[in-house]
Structures are given as structure tokens and as C-alpha cells.
Chains A and B, each alone.
Chain A
Amino acid sequence: MQKRLILDGPLLEITISRLCQQLIENHQDFKNSVILGLQPRGIYLAERIHQRLEKLLNKQVRMGFLDITFYRDDFRRRDIPLEANTTSVPFIIENQKVILVDDVLYTGRSVRAALDAMIAFGRPSKVELLVLVNRRYSRDLPIQADYTGLSVNTMPSQRVLVEWENHGAKKDNVWLVNY
């Protein structure tokens, strides 16, 4: 198994800062905007962005976690079912601008499921997608991110591995792994 570092700690910090600035540019004070991190891996990025935004804006920003397990389109098509995670959306998203946050955008199927899952909490006025790594030319569905940390060209045999400090890794790193 070979792996190549595509984003290291300092560069990741800069990327997250840029993403936050872009968000502020479009959402100003986040009065009618909320952040939804996708379980299981998107929530770490969502937490990071949320922290940074609150610091930059000096006010509270609403954030929730969305689990998409029950909305996936591959149920009964994989060997064993995926274990569900907690959904925590402690606010109404009716007429709010929702920013979905995930670590890697690959086929787009998770995002499709997330759009379904999100509707159970109301009808948002607008939905945007923020991803840390965009795997180019690999979409199964017509879904694109509004905010992208890094775009990479990958092959189906490769995987993008995002490691977070405090969540099972010593340092923040993003790897491209060959199998």
C-alpha cells in the first residue's frame, strides 16, 4: 500500500481559513445560515470550520450533524448493512441556507442521500456543499461542490484518507492511498 501526502497540517489550516472566508463572503453574519456536517467523517471538518467561523465572526453559528445511513441507495446491495450514527439537528432548517459539509466528494451518492435526509427537517431556502477534497472526473451523479479545499485527479483504485488530530491521528494530514 503506497500513500502520498496531498495536504499537510499547515496547508490544511490555510485551506480551512480560505473556506471560512469564502463562507463569510456569501453568508455574512450567518443569521439565516446553518452548517450540517455529514456523518461519519464530515463532522470533523464541520467542527473545525464551525470553530473558526465563530472566532472570526465573534458570534454563535448553528451547526448540526446529519446521518445518511437510512437514506443510502446501496442498502441491500452491499454485503452487510452500515452502522448508523447519531443525527443531531437541534434547529429548524425551514427557510434557512444550509451548508452541507463533507470531507471527500467522490461519486456524489452520499450527497444525494444527504439531500434526502435533510428534507426531513424542513425546506431550506438554499443548499450549498462544502468539501475538503474534490475527486475530479469520478461523479456518478450531477453534483458539484460550491466550496472546494483541494481538487485532485484520482483513479478508482485510489482512496483519499483524511486524518484529524484528536480523532485517531497524531497530526492533520490528507493522503492519497493506492491499493
Chain B
Amino acid sequence: MKTLISRGKSRIDKERLILAVAAPLLAIIAALVVTAVIIAATGKDPFAAFSDMVTYGSASDSQVYILNKATTYYLAGVAVAIGFRMNLFNIGVDGQYRLAAFVAAVLGGALTLPGWLSIPLIMLAAMATGALWSAIAGILKVTRGVSEVISTIMLNSIATAIIAYLLQPEQLGQLDDAGTLVSTKPLPKSSYFFTIDVGPAGQVWGFIVIAVLVGIAYWFVLGRTRFGFDLRTVGQSESAAAASGVSVKKMVATSMIISGAVAGLVGMPTLLNDSHQYDNSFPVGLGFTGIAIALLGRNHPVGIALGALLWGFLERTTNHLEFQGYDKEILGVIQGVIVLCVVIAYEVVRRYGLKRQQQRVGAELAAQAAAVRTDKQEVAG
């Protein structure tokens, strides 16, 4: 009996490994096939498109672009994933990072401290703003039972309105020379985050280091601490967690706040490494990109990184596809297809694995029962 279980376990592990690789592989192949069909349907050659994407995407300046974009996307993905692990759908990452970036930009423009002091202050201000903004949704959920999906969507709109109100020439904004672009006061040079110069290809944003650190922290806290264990438990079964003495409400509020704090960092690579000010051309919608990337990366720190890189690669290369005469809508189609394929592929593989397991357990039980029956017969006979 004992040997049976242990043998079974090792086999399951091997199978689990195969299944784990099968899902993303299946998703990528399916996405490629669907995309190829779509491109062919528009009367273009899909293989020429793919080969252009690979050539253009592997150029050195494209790599810099992809790394820089992925830095932002990774942070957005992690912010969303923290909520996902708790079964919380933090759609508000979008509003949280924009409000955070705005507050941080205003603070950064006003500060005239040395960089080693002002940069951490700017980042802390951003994290605090993001955390406070998401705390509203968290508190509403635990005290009044308001769905975080609804409240965060609404908080997104409120954040947009607050920024629009404050980002006016007579408030905290200032007009450019042409009188068409309003921005916050630019950050002083001392508050710029460092960049890694890689020659003609451009500059890699130094914030990538922070993104990696956030990824490691995410992995460590979730997988190696009691808090992370509690968080995952609540995500899997609230009643079980409550029964084992975890305060579900406290966990919901805390993880919402942590998710918001990480969301506060999403705008920082752009602010500290690129734009150095908040204006109307500050990127929007990164929170929603984060949802797609967290889904793609299965909430896993490395998976999210791969998803973020893939997203950056797709944006870079499809921008160029438009230049080559392909339809510009192709990017949205490819991204949508990939997310769908990943979700479906994981579900298909999960069900297949479950079926295999059931079959095997069933077969083993049947063998056991048969063995018992023969024993009995032998005794009787």
C-alpha cells in the first residue's frame, strides 16, 4: 500500500511537469495558428509578418524598448497578481498608479533635495498614494461588502477626474510654450533614476532593478512566509482559512493595500526614467495590461516576467507591422488571442490532468479491490 502511493506520487510529479510545459506550449502554438489565419484573411502573408517581427524585435534598440516596457508591465502584473492570489480582482490598479504617479510627480517637482533622498521619497509617496487609494476599496469590501470590482472601477474614474482637476494651469500644472500641453513641474535632474547606457541602442531604465527586487519580494513573501501562506489559503478557501484561525477580513484589507502599494510603483519607471513629469500624455491603461499579464504569467513571479517581455515584444513588433502595411488593429487581435489561448490551454490541460489522475486512481482502486476479492476467495476456498 505504502509503495503504491509513493510510486504513484513520483509518477504524478513527472506528469505534472510535462503538463506544466504543455500548457504554455499549447497556448503559443494555438495563438500562432489563429494569428496566422487572421493575417492570411486580410490578404497578407503571415510568415512574412512573423519573420519581420523576429528580425525587427531582435534588433538591439528593440531589445531596449522591450526591456523598458516590460519593467512597467512587470510591476503592473505583480500588482494585479497579488490580488488574484487572494481571489481579489483589483481592476483599480489603473487609477492607483495614475494617481500615485501624479502625486509623486508633484512632490518630485517641488523637492530640491539630493537624489539619494528625493528618489526614495518620491517612490514612497507613490506607494503610499496607491495603497491609500486601494485601501478605500479594501475597507469598503470588508466593512460594507462592496464588491472590489465595482468600487475599483469607480475609483479609476474618480482618480481620472481628480488628476484632470488638479492638472490645470491654475492648480498644480503649468502650460508649455505652445499653450497646448499642461504638465506638472518637471523633476530636477538630481531626481532622475539612473539608466544603463548601451550605446546606439539607447538606454535601459535603471528601474528594472527595482522591478526585479519587487519580483523577488513577491516570490519570497508569498511562498516563504506565514503571511503568504495565509494569503494563499484565504484565496483558495475562505471558510477553511477562517476555521484555521486566519482573519479573512484583515487579509482582504491588507492584500488590497499591498496590491495598491505595488500599483503605486507602476508609473515610476516612466516618471523617474523617462518623462520626468506628469502630463496628459502619461501612459494610461497599464492597469488593464497588468491584468492580461498576470493571467498570462499565472501569477507566478517568473511567469509574469515572461508575460511582460512578450507584451513588450508584441507592441514593438506590431508597431513596425503597421509600418510595413499590415493593419494596425493586428496588435489587439494577437494580444487577445494569446490571453484567450493561455486561459483555455491551462484549463484544458488541468482537466486532462484531473481526468488522468481519476482514471489512474480508479484503476488502482479496482486492482486493489480485485486483489482483496481474490484473497477472500482464497480464504473461503
Check if A and B associate. Answer: no
Chain A contact residues, CB within 8 Å of chain B: none
Chain B contact residues, CB within 8 Å of chain A: none
